[in-house]
Structure 1
Amino acid sequence: MFALFMSDNLLIPFIVYLNSAIECRLSPLLEMMWRRNLEIFKCLVKFRNYSYLHNPGSEPLRSLTIGKLLEESAQKYGERTALVSRSQNKRFTYQEALDQADRLAAGFRTLGLNMGDRIGIWAPNIAEWYLTHMACARGGFVLVNINPAYQPMELQACINSVGVKALVCAHKFKDDNYYEHLLKLAPEIQKCQAGRLFSKALPTLETIIVPSDEELSGTFKYDDVVNLASEVEIQNIRNLQNFINPDGVCHLQFTSGTTGVPKSPQQTHFQIVNNSYSIGKRNELDKRHHTLCMLGPFFHAFGTVIVLCSAVNHGATLVLPAPGYDPDKALDAIRDEKCSVILGTPTMYVDIVNRQKIRQENINPEIAVSGGACCSPHLFREMKEILKLKKVKSVYGLTEVTAVAFQSLYDDDEYQSTSTVGYVGDHLEVKVVDEKGHTVPRGTPGELLIRGYSTTLGYWQNEEKTKELIGPDKWLRTGDQFILEENGYGKVVGRLKEMVIRGGENIFPAEVEDFLNTHPGILETHVIGVPHERLGEEVCACVRLRPGHQLTLDDLKLFCKGNLANFKIPSKLKIVESFPKTTSGKIQKYKLINNINKEINLRSKVNLPISD
C-alpha cells in the first residue's frame, strides 16, 4: 500500500478524494477515520519531498560466487575472447580463462595454500592479474589488491595489515623493479627456498610468484605454478565450487587513498557478482557483444568490479591497451580492436580527447563510462564530439559500497547523462542528511548515506573505523556532499572535508570547477580552500592550461563575473603542470591542498602573491 501511494500520479488525487469525502455528511466515527487517513497521506506527500529513495530493482539478486560466474560465462560464451593484453600479445577465450584459472588455483593448493588464505597481487595490467583474480575466486582464497605504484614501505604495510601469505608480483614495470623492492624489505628471499620465506619484516609472507622467464632466487615462476598441479588436483578445484560461500569475503580491496592512508574494506562474492551485473546492464553490455577498452588499473574497484566482473557477467571482451595508462596506446587499442565501450576516469578522458584532436584516428566507439571522480558537463560534451560517441555515462560509488551506487540509465537525456551521476542502483536505499543526521529536502545538499546488499562487511580487523563508517542502523556514511534531485538522480558537490567555507558562505568546489572548465584555455581545474585571516578560507583555482594558452587571475575573474556569485569567484590562481593523482586516476586533493598551503606560507614570508 505504501509503495502504491508513493506514486505521484496516485497520491495527490487520493488526498483530493479524502478531502471531498470529509466534506460530505459522515458519522462522527467515519469522519474521524477519514481525517486520520488524510493526515497520514499528507505526511506521505511531505515525505516524498525529502531526500530518501529506495530502488527495489527489477530482477532478484543472485547467490553466486565469482568462480561460478566465470564457469557460467564459459558455458555461454566459451569461444568468445575474454581478454586481450596487447603489450604481451596474449589473447584467451572464456573457456581458456576458466581452464587456466583452475590450473593456477590447483597450483596454489599444491603449494600449501588453503581456502581463506590471503593472496596478494602487486602488478600492473597484465593477463596474469586477470587469471590470478579468477584463480583466487575458484580456489576460495581472498584476493588482496595492491597498488602497483606502491613502494616498499607501502607494500609492507599492506602485506602485514591483512596477513598476506602468498604474493603474485610483476618483475619490472617502468622504473620499478618489484623484485628488488622485495629484497629491500626481506633480504632473506635471496637465500631461502621458494615457498619457504621466513622474514622479520614480512612475517606472514611465505610464497612469492613472479610472471617472468628470469631465475629469481626465492621465488616461483608463474608458469611453473600453473603447470604444477595434477589433473586430480584440478578436478578437486572444480568439485570445490559448491562449497565456497557466496557471502564469504573474496576481496580485500584497499581504498585508493585520496584522503589519506588506505584502509581495506571487505567485499564478498555476492556483492561483487550482483553489483557488477547491474553496472554492466546499465552500461548496455547486455544489449550485444561489446569490446571494452580499459583505461584504469585492475587493482582498483573500478577495474575489478566496474570493468572486469561486468565483462564476465555479460560476456564482453576486455582489452588492456598497456600495463599502465597511456593515452596514445589507448587510442591505438580503440582503433585496432574496434572497441565499442571505453571506461576510465575524467583525467584520463582529458588526455585522450586532446590526443585525438591531434591524431584524428578513425575510431567509432559507442559509449564512454566515466567514474572515480566527478566529470564536468563540458568534458562530457567534448568526449562525445571528439571521440564520436553516441552516449556518455556516469557512475558514482566508492570501494566501501563494492563499486557503484548511482549510475546513468539506458534512456537518460543529455542533462541526466552529463550533469548528474545517474539514478540510484538496484536494491539500494539512499538518503541525504544534514550535520545532525536529519534527512534534508530534495535538491538540498547534505551528506549521502547508503544502505543495502553492497555495503562492505567492514574494514579488515578495524572495528573502530568500521563503526565510524557504518552505524548500528546499517547506514553507510559516504563523506560526500550530495544532492538528490526530485526525479531521484544524484549530483556530487564535493567531499565534506573539501567544502570551502568563505566568510560563512558554503562553496562547493564541483560547481566552480564545472564552470571554469568551460574556459577555452583551461584543460582541467580543481578548486580548493586556502586559509584567510578574516574570511577563514578563500577560493583558490588550480588549473592546467591547454598548450599555447596563458591565464592571469584578472582574466579568470573577468570570465567568472556575471556567471558566478562574487563570493564563489576564485581570489587566487595557481597554474600547474600536473595534479597529484592516485594510480587509478583520482586527484588527491589533500596533497594538492598541502602543497598549495606550503607555497602560500613560503611566499607570505617574502610578500609574494600566489597568482602565477
Structure 2
Amino acid sequence: MSETTSFEHFPGLIDLHLNTALGSVINVTMSQKLTKSYIHVPVKTPFSEKSVGQRFQEVANQNADKEMFVFYADQERKTFRQMQEESQQFAGGLLKLGLKKGDTLGVWGGNHYEWLLAYLASLQIGVITVNMRMDFPLSVQQEVIQRLGMKVVILMRSPSDMCDRASQIIPELLTNAADNLNCQITPSLKCVINAGTNQCKGMISLTDFMEMGKGFDRSTVTKAIDRVDFDDPICVTFTSGSTGFPKGVTHTHRSVLMVSEDFARFDEDADGIPIHYSRRFALIMSFGGMGAHIGVLFPMIKGDTTIIVGPAYNAQLMANVIQDERVTGSTMLIQHLNDILSLPNFEEYDFSSFQVCITGGSIIPHSFRQRASKITKHLLLAYGGTEGFGSTQSPKDPIEILHSPAFFPADGSEWKIIADDGQILPINEIGEICHRGPSLFLYYWGEEEKTKAAKKPSGWYHTGDMGTLDESGYLRVVGRKSERIIKEGVNIAPSQLEKVFDEHPAVNNVMVVGVPDGHTSEEVCACIRRHPLTKVTSDELKEFCRGKVSDFLVPKYILFMEDAFPTTETGKFDRKKIAEQAKTILGL
C-alpha cells in the first residue's frame, strides 16, 4: 500500500462519517509519511445506522433461498429464509417469557445449529448472548450465571452430559417444574432450554420452546427488532480467567459489524482474479468471540454461506469439508494447517477451491508458507483479540509485509505506539500498541476498575502488545508486553529471534522465553522442537543466529524438547508454561 493517512495534524477529526469536504482533506494527507507512531485510517463509506438484526433482515430477504449455514458433521442445512423464520420464532419465545432488550441469555455447549439459532434470535431483539466457555469449571459457570443475572440458558446437544452439568449448579432443575424454576443462585433465571435428548424435570426441550414462540405475534418481534440500536450490547465473551475470574468482554452491534466489514473489504481481486473467499466460509472456531464475528457475520452481510465443520475438530474432517463443500475461505491456526499437511492421504484431496486462509498468533515462516500453498492460495495473518480487531493482511500487500507480522490498520481505527511513560514514540521504535476505534469492546461486564485500567476515558485501549509503526502506516507486532525479555535493562521481543530460528531446516517449532539469571535480569532461552530425523546442536544453532541478530541477542540457553509444546485453550503455544518448563530443566 503506497499511500497512508495521518491525522496527526487534525486531532479533532474523531467523527469518521466522511463527507466531501473531509474527503479533500484526506487527499492532502494521504501523501504524507508518518514521523510519529500515530495513524488514523478513515472509513471509505459512512457507518450504517442499523443493528446486526436489522442488517440480517435485509440480507435474508435478498437471499431467501440461498444456503446460510451448513452443519457438516450434523448433516443439516439451513437457508436464509429458514434461519430468519426459525430465529424469529425463537425470539417470540423469549419475548413471551418477558425478556427485553438488555437481558442476558447464556449459550452453553458445542457448535450446533441451536447455538446460532439462539444467537440470531437474541441479537435481533436486543437480548445479549453470553458465551459460556466449555473449559470453565462448574464453579465458574455458576458465578457467570449469577454475575450476569441470566434470564435464559440454552444447552447444546453436545457434550452429552450437558444436562448433568447444568443440574449440578442449578439443582432445582431436578425437582422443580420448568415453568416454576425458582433458581436460588439467580432468582432472575426464567428458563433452561435443552437441545439434547437427556432431559430434566425443570428444563424445557428446544422443540417445546419453539412451539411456545410459534404462535407469538410476529409484529411484536418486528417492533422489538426496530428498537435495537447499533450502540446496544450484543454479546459477552469471556477471557481465559488465568489470573482470576474471567473478564466478560462486552461488544456492541457496531463493533462486531465493523469486524465483519473489515474482512469484507479484502474479499476483492488479487492478481486480476476475484477471491470471494466469503462465498463458502468454513468455521472451526467456537461461535463465541471472533468465531461468531468473522465466521458467521462476515459471510452473512454478504449473503454468503458458512460451513460449520462440527462440534469437534480433526484434520481429516476439515480436509473433507474443504473438498466436499468447495470451501473458499476459512480461519485456522498454523497447527490446524500443519495437521492437514501431515495427513497420510493428503495428496488425495482436492483443495482447488480454497482461496484464502486467515491465521494469527505468530510469524509464518517462509518454508511453511510454501508448504501451505498446497492447501490455500493466500495465507494471511490477522491481528486482534477478544477486546477488539486490528486488521487482516491483504493479498495485495507487498511481499515483505506478507512475510512478516505486519498489517495496515482497519478502516475507521486509530493506532499509536507509546513508551512506558505514555508518550508517542517516533516511527519504527518498539512500544506498547494502543488502539481506538469502532471495533473495540464497550466494557468488561461489571468490572469498572478493570475497564478503566485497559480502556482509558479518551477511548484508547492499551492492548498489552508490543510493536512498531513505520512511515507508511504498517503496524508490526513483536510480542506481548508481559512476554518481553529484559536483559541488562534492554527489552527483547521473542519474535526477533523466533523468526530467525524458524528458517533453520531442522527447527520444527521454537519458543523464545526469558529465564532468571540469578540477579535482577533475564537470560534468553530458545526452546526447540526439531523435525523428525534431523540433527542439529545448540552450538550450531547459536552460530546460525550470529550475523542475523546482534551477539547480545544470541540465546545463552538452547533446549531441545521432545514432547509437543503445551497450548492454551485457543490452541496457541502457551509461552508461560514453556518458560516454567525451561526453568525447571535448567534448575533455575
| Structure 2 Cα separation of the partners of residues 259 and 572 of structure 1 | 29
Counterpart among 293, 314, 319 of residue 302 in structure 2: 314
| Residues 591/181 of structure 1: CA separation in 2 closer, same or farther (3 Å cut) | farther
**1:155-191 deviation per Cα after TM superposition (whole angstroms, max 9, x unaligned):** 2232223222211122432xx7222222332333211
The residue type equivalent to 1:304 in the other structure is A
1:214 maps to 2:198: yes
Task: Spell out, residue by residue over 1:506-535, the C-alpha distance to the aligned partner (whole angstroms, 9 max, x if none).
Answer: 221122222222233333322221212147
Separation of aligned partners in 2, 1:487 and 1:417: 15
Measure how far apart 1:144 and its partner are: 0.5
1:164 aligns with 2:153: no
Deviation at 1:312, TM superposition (A): 0.7
Trace 1:537-576 onto structure 2 (pairs within 5 A).
537-549=522-534, 552-570=537-555, 571-575=557-561
Residues 46/172 of structure 1: CA separation in 2 closer, same or farther (3 Å cut): closer
Partner of 2:284: 295
1:607: which partner in 2?
A: none
Does the aligned pair in 1 maintain the 2:97–2:190 contact within 8 Å? Answer: no
What SS does the aligned partner of 1:164 have?
coil
Residue deviations 1:264-297 (CA, integer Å, cap 9, x gap): 1221112212331222222449964611122321
Partner of 1:385: 373
Which runs of structure 1 show a deviation greater than 6 angstroms over 4 or more consecutive aligned residues?
3-8, 44-47
Distance 1:200 1:54, change over 3 A: same
Give per-residue Cα distances to partners, 1:178-217, cap 9 Å, x unaligned: 2222233233321121253334445554422121233333
- The SS at the match of 2:464 is strand
SS of the equivalent of 1:332 reads helix
Which structure would you say has the larger Rg? 1
| Structure 2 runs not aligned, ≥5 long | 9-29
Deviation of 1:545 (Å): 4.1
Alignment-derived partner of residue 399 in structure 2: 414
| Unaligned segments of structure 1, at least 5 residues | 9-43, 605-612
- What SS does the aligned partner of 1:172 have? coil
Query: 1:487/1:96 Cα in 2 relative to 1: closer, same or farther (>3 Å)?
Result: same
Q: Does 1:141 align with 2:127?
A: yes
The match for 1:273 is: 257
Give the one of 211, 231, 238 matched to 2:222.
Answer: 238
Spell out, residue by residue over 1:63-118, the C-alpha distance to the aligned partner (whole angstroms, 9 max, x if none).
Answer: 11111121111122221111111111101111111111111111222234332211
Indicate if the aligned counterparts of 1:430 and 1:450 stay in contact, CA closer than 8 A: yes
Greater CA drift, 242-251 or 284-293: 284-293
**Is the 8 Å Cα contact of residues 517 and 523 (structure 1) preserved in structure 2?**
yes
- Aligned pairs (5 A) from 1:239-254: 239-254=223-238
Q: Which amino acid aligns with 2:180?
A: R
Task: State whether residues 189 and 217 of structure 1, in contact with CA within 8 Å, keep that contact through their aligned partners in structure 2.
Answer: yes
- Cα distance, 1:358–1:216 mapped onto 2, change above 3 Å: same
Structure 1 residues 249-277: Cα deviation after superposition (integer angstroms, max 9, x where no partner): 11112224577652112211122123312
Q: Aligned ranges for residues 498-509 of structure 1 at < 5 Å?
A: 498-509=483-494
Tell me the secondary structure at the aligned position of residue 362 of structure 2.
coil
What displacement does 1:551 show? 5.5
State the TM-score, normalizing by the size of structure 1. 0.84
CA RMSD of aligned residues (A): 2.9
Q: Secondary structure of 2:40's partner? A: strand
Give me the TM-score of the superposition, normalised by structure 2.
0.87
Change (3 A) 1:543 1:260: farther
Aligned to 1:482: 467
- Please show how residues 334-483 of structure 1 align to structure 2 within 5 Å: 334-355=322-343, 358-378=346-366, 381-382=369-370, 384-387=372-375, 389-401=376-388, 404-483=389-468
Q: Which moved more, 1:478-487 or 1:342-351?
A: 342-351
User: Shift of the alpha carbon at 1:225?
Assistant: 1.3
In the alignment, which residue of structure 1 is the partner of 2:11?
Answer: none
Give the share of equivalent positions with the same residue, in percent. 26
**What is the letter of the counterpart of residue 150 of structure 2?**
V
Q: Mark the CA change 1:398 to 1:235 in structure 2 (over 3 Å): closer, same or farther.
A: same
Distance 1:592 1:233 in 2: 57
Counterpart check, 1:262 vs 2:236: no
1:130 pairs with 2:116? yes
Number of positions where the alignment pairs a residue of Structure 1 with one of Structure 2:
559
Q: Please give the alpha-carbon distance, in whole angstroms, between the structure 2 residues aligned to 1:560 and 1:278.
A: 38
Instruction: Find the residue that maps to 1:355 and give its secondary structure.
Output: coil
Structure ranking higher in helix proportion: 1
Q: 1:596 Cα deviation (Å)?
A: 4.2
Match of 1:17 in 2: none
Question: 1:392 corresponds to which letter in structure 2?
Answer: L
- Structure 1: distance between partners of 2:530 and 2:498: 14
Counterpart CA distance in 1 for 2:87 and 2:31 is: 54
Counterpart pick for 2:209 among 201, 204, 225: 225
Match of 1:608 in 2: none
3-state SS in 1 of match to 2:350: coil
AA aligned to 2:248 is S
1:87 aligns with 2:73: yes
d(CA) in 2 for partners of 1:443 and 1:461?
A: 38
